[in-house]
Amino acid sequence: MRCIKCRGKAVIDLRRHNAAFCREHFVEFFQGQVRRAIEQFRMFGPDDRILVAVSGGKDSLVLWEVLLHLGYRADALYIDLGIGDYSAASTEKVRRFHQQRAAPLGADLHVVSLKAAYGFDVDEARDRVRRPPCSACGLSKRYIFNKVAVDRGYDVVATGHNLDDEAAVLLGNVLRWNMSYLARQWPVLPGGRGFVRKVKPLVRLTERETAAYAVLTGVDYIVEECPHAVGATSHVYKDLLNRLEQQSPGSKHQFLFQFYQQGRSQLKVEERPDLRSCRYCGQPTPGDVCAFCRMTALLLDQLEQPGGGAAMDSSPAGAQRSTPGAPVSQAGPAAAPEAEPASEAGAVN
């Protein structure tokens, strides 16, 4: 198989583009697709300060690498979620990437330990309350990414969501005909009213392409999957879409981008409800207390009870049982994340 650009030995075939590339031209193709997504969806400009949400996985580290290569002002935030050996290994990958590839380009790494900042971790959330670990994890990440971005003056948060992620989400929303979610699905979530803009610059690239880019450019990522993601519904959707892709190359791209170009415009985006500031942390929320502070208070309440966890009080009043405004070490619901540049923060925990 030959590179369509130079006729040299190809290292990857992209059937959806009816193309194959050598290492050099695949890297060029990949970076071009990221640049095209940024421009196509007007994600950010050269002067914007970008906070990349990194996990230690291939997508987020590759995204950080490419944004820096393209000359953007991209720092990163890593959240230590406390998922046993997986988090320890992820932390190591992120720190090494920062030291070897990002810091030399002037980029900072911020690290927040969920346990140190808020008094619980994802494993404890799983063990102590009847909340799916991915739910607690997702809520925590969305909250902390936004809070750190706002507090530190970033213009935009960039995540490593890719074509497979977005096509799988679209399939899930179509299967349920979830019209409000469908109307909001777009590679840019606008900011304002306390929310920082969120963007997905890898939306034109598949997970396979991102993995290939990582290997070919020497990005050392955590290959192992999060133990809590095993059996996730998103895997089922991705498997279905990849079976379709195998039979009909380009199907995933067509499914997602035709939705962007034709389907979504037929849907009405519902106005966000009126937002106010969370009583404890000041983050935007439609209620009196934001979802993250409610979850934090419930978790800390459970963790304080020996052997607790059998019952879960889902009422917002649960938040009132913990001390509002408690310092980080006491892990009250209003505790602020301790996000420090990695070069200053030392150990995560």
Closer by beta carbon to other proteins, 23 or else 101 = 23
User: Three-class SS string for the chain?
Assistant: CECCCCCCECCEEEHHHCEEECHHHHHHHHHHHHHHHHHHCCCCCCCCEEEEEECCCHHHHHHHHHHHHCCCEEEEEEEECCCHHHHHHHHHHHHHHHHHHHHHHCCCEEEEEHHHHHCCCHHHHHHHCCCCHHHHHHHHHHHHHHHHHHHCCCCEEECCCEHHHHHHHHHHHHHCCCHHHHHHCCCEECCECCECEEECCECCCCHHHHHHHHHHHCCCCCCCCCHHHCCCHHHHHHHHHHHHHHHCCCHHHHHHHHHHHHHHHHCCCCCCCCCEECCCCCCEECCCCCHHHHHHHHHHHHHHCCCCCCCCCCCHHHHHHCCCCCCHHHCCCCCCCCCEEHHHHCCCC
Cβ-proximal residues to 269 (8 Å cutoff; 6+ apart), any chain: 183, 184
Asked if 147 touches other proteins (CB under 8 A), the answer is: no
Per CB under 8 A, the list member of 113, 146, 185, 242 interacting with other proteins is 242
Distance separating alpha carbons of residues 33 and 161, to the nearest angstrom? 14
Shortest Å distance, C-beta 229 to other proteins: 3
Asked if 203 touches other proteins (CB under 8 A), the answer is: no
Give the interface segment with other proteins, choosing from 101-109, 148-156, 158-166, 312-320 (CB under 8 A).
158-166
Per CB under 8 A, the list member of 152, 208, 253, 264 interacting with other proteins is 208
Shortest Å distance, C-beta 85 to other proteins: 14
Asked if 134 touches other proteins (CB under 8 A), the answer is: yes
Asked if 228 touches other proteins (CB under 8 A), the answer is: yes
Per CB under 8 A, the list member of 4, 11, 19, 328 interacting with other proteins is 11
Asked if 98 touches other proteins (CB under 8 A), the answer is: no
Shortest Å distance, C-beta 201 to other proteins: 12
Asked if 59 touches other proteins (CB under 8 A), the answer is: yes
Closer by beta carbon to other proteins, 69 or else 208 = 208
Per CB under 8 A, the list member of 165, 197, 300, 337 interacting with other proteins is 165
Closer by beta carbon to other proteins, 29 or else 322 = 29
Asked if 88 touches other proteins (CB under 8 A), the answer is: no
Supply 313's token pair.
Answer: 């009080």
Closer by beta carbon to other proteins, 10 or else 342 = 10
Asked if 245 touches other proteins (CB under 8 A), the answer is: yes
Asked if 161 touches other proteins (CB under 8 A), the answer is: yes
The answer to whether residues 161 and 202 touch, using CB atoms and an 8 Å cutoff, is yes
Asked if 10 touches other proteins (CB under 8 A), the answer is: yes
The answer to whether residues 120 and 299 touch, using CB atoms and an 8 Å cutoff, is yes
Shortest Å distance, C-beta 145 to other proteins: 10
Closer by beta carbon to other proteins, 128 or else 131 = 131
Shortest Å distance, C-beta 288 to other proteins: 25
Asked if 229 touches other proteins (CB under 8 A), the answer is: yes
**Helix 291-304 with 133-151: angle, nearest 10 deg:** 120
Interface contacts to other proteins, rule CB under 8 A: 1, 10-13, 20, 23, 53, 55, 57-60, 134-135, 137-138, 141, 159-161, 164-165, 168, 206-208, 210-212, 215-216, 218, 223-226, 228-230, 232, 234-235, 238-239, 242-243, 245-246
